[in-house]
Amino acid sequence: MPQLDTSTWFITILSMMISLFSLIQLKFHKYTYPANPTPASLKSTKQPTPWESKWTKIYSPLSLPLQ
């Protein structure tokens, strides 16, 4: 059985890692990021609900007058 030649593995793996690192850096370099990000204003907008405009009262069956 022939022996596996592993003498070139180091340079192959090293060159692959350098190539991948370079490609990733080039991909990230294309993105534009905002220079000074500012937080968005968190204004709460009040939604009108239909029951706020009129008077309502909940009657319990026990509080109704006896007949």
pTM here is 0.44
CA distance 47 to 30: 42
Structure tokens at 47: 């939604």
pLDDT of residue 53: 57
- Residue 38, pLDDT score: 76
pLDDT, tens only, 28-48: 888 887 788 777 776 766 666
Q: Tell me the pLDDT band of 66, cut-offs 50, 70 and 90.
A: low
Percent of the chain with pLDDT over 70: 61
